Amino acid sequence: MKEKFSPETLFDEMNKCNETGNHRVAVIVFKQENFNKPYSELSRSYASHSDQWGWDYTKLGNRRSADCLDGTDKGVRLDYYNWKVEYWYWQDDNR
Query: Which pLDDT tens digit goes with each residue over 3-38?
Result: 999 999 999 999 999 999 999 999 999 999 999 999
Q: Say if residues 77 and 68 touch (Cβ distance below 8 Å).
A: no
d(CA 22, CA 43): 27
Single-letter code of the amino acid located at 41: E
> Does the structure show a pLDDT above 70 at 62?
yes
Cβ(7)–Cβ(87) below 8 Å:
yes
pLDDT value, residue 95: 45
Task: Specify which residues 27 forms β-bridges with.
Answer: 47, 89
pTM over 0.95: no
Among 75, 25, 14, 77, residue whose Cα is nearest residue 47: 25
Taking the C-alpha atoms of residue 88 and residue 30, their distance in angstroms, rounded to an integer, is 9
Give the sign of the dihedral formed by CA 50, CA 75, CA 68, CA 83.
positive
